Amino acid sequence: MIESLNKRDKDMKKKGSKIRIILLSFFSLIMILIIMGVFFVKNYYEDQMEPLAKTNVKEINIEIPMGSSIIKIANILEENKLIKNELLFRINAKILGMDSNLKAGNYVLNNGMTPEEILQALQEGSIPKDTVKFTIPEGFELKEIAERLSNQGLVDKDRFDELVSNPLNFTDKFPFLSELTSDLNLEGYLYPDTYEIFVGSTEEEIIEKMLERFEEIYTPSIIEKADKLGMSLNEVITLASIIEREGMIDDERPLISAVFHNRIEKNMLLQSCATVQYLLGERKERLTFKDLEIDSQYNTYIYNGLPPGPIASPGRKSIEAAVNPADVDYFFFVANGDGSHTFSITYEEHMNAKNRN
């Protein structure tokens, strides 16, 4: 009996030793994993706090709007490829106590700066830099935009034309442009507005500023309405550009839009003089019968549907009208000579209105 008890004690001690060894091994493994994790996180954090570029460092102009939060600022810096990690930038700013008192303004930073150096610059405030303004009116064509910027000494016209000829030049920063087909250029997408730029801005920077404004105007609400109408981005801006060139009074734009939507639905020719003027390269007050016979997809007197692409840069009202046609049965309109139009349902009504003008 005593021998039996001794054997049991020995077995229990042996079993206890095994459990201790297993537990020690388990805790050792956990400690190793923790140490490795800490080492990995530390290395990753230090890497993300390094400058984005160590060679080929370049200056980048950015604007921090008034009232921007640290989240907005970090987003701007990441979009402009000045920092590697937006979240870690914010965490680092908090750790350093530099997440407040960041000043709005225009900055010239470079991608060789550390996040801490960038934070320091944003706390000190921007150094004033000479700026210049330019205005692009609604309804301007690409060639008119290029000519105006060139005449103001802001761009090299050949370089500008080369860049806007292919949307792929800007799809990395503006993914919405990837919806455009390879045969289109940036006609219609350089938003007409008044801009303030740094003196010496490159052609790329000027184009990007105009595309950024377009992206602000082309809101999720417009995208949603376009989807409901079964319209692509290119179709919306193409129609908007025609509305822009045909209309002069904002209240009439939804009516003009309705006419074109109604004609498309009935498979009628759009018969827009503006599209023919675009292919002619000039804006004639009256088109000849010869003009209306030109064989081009932009001639909406002989080809059904919308032309292949926009014919000008539409403003906000025309873009909104393209996806918000008025609920009317008009199929025709004629200019009254004072900027207004007379709208008609039947061809007979249209001809009567035309004869009156």
Can you give the residue ranges of every domain in the chain?
A: 59-124, 131-217, 220-356
pLDDT score, position 6: 55
Between 291 and 256, residue with greater pLDDT: 256
Question: Among the listed ranges 77-91, 277-291, 298-312, 342-356, which one has the minimum average pLDDT value?
Answer: 277-291
In the numeric block, which tokens belong to residue 74?
Answer: 């970090």
Closest CA to 222 of 237, 206, 207: 237
- Residue type for position 26: F
Question: Among the listed ranges 121-135, 144-158, 174-188, 335-349, which one has the minimum average pLDDT value?
Answer: 121-135
Between 157 and 283, residue with greater pLDDT: 157
**Strand (E) or helix (H) holding 62:** strand 59-64
3-state secondary structure of 34: helix
For the segment 284-288, the average pLDDT, to the nearest whole number, is 75
Closest CA to 217 of 236, 197, 245: 236
- Encode burial over 135-152: b for 16+ CB neighbours within 10 A, e otherwise: ebebbbbbeebbebbbee
Q: In this predicted model, what pLDDT tens digit does every residue of 161-213 receive, in sequence order?
A: 999 999 999 998 899 999 998 889 999 999 999 998 888 889 999 999 999 99
Between 54 and 71, residue with greater pLDDT: 71
In the numeric block, which tokens belong to residue 296?
Answer: 């081009």
pLDDT score, position 5: 47
As a whole number of angstroms, the distance between CA 219 and CA 329 comes to 28
pLDDT score, position 23: 67
For the segment 263-284, the average pLDDT, to the nearest whole number, is 90
For the segment 332-337, the average pLDDT, to the nearest whole number, is 90
As a whole number of angstroms, the distance between CA 146 and CA 162 comes to 11
Between 18 and 83, residue with greater pLDDT: 83
For the segment 271-275, the average pLDDT, to the nearest whole number, is 93
pLDDT score, position 352: 87
Single pTM value for the model: 0.70
- The mean of the pLDDT values for the chain is 87
Over 70: is that where the pLDDT of 112 sits? Answer: yes
Over 90: is that where the pLDDT of 282 sits? Answer: no
Most confident by average pLDDT, 178-182, 217-221, 290-294? 217-221
Handedness of CA 301, 307, 308, 311 (dihedral sign): positive
End-to-end CA distance of the chain: 126
- Residue type for position 84: K
Report the half-sphere exposure of 183 (CA within 13 A, side-chain side).
Answer: 4
Give 61's contacts (C-beta < 8 A, 6+ positions apart): 106, 107, 108, 198, 201, 205
As a whole number of angstroms, the distance between CA 202 and CA 210 comes to 13
Over 90: is that where the pLDDT of 234 sits? Answer: yes
User: Which CATH number describes the domain made up of 59-124?
Assistant: 3.30.1490.480
- Helix residue spans in 49-133 (DSSP H): 70-79, 86-95, 115-124
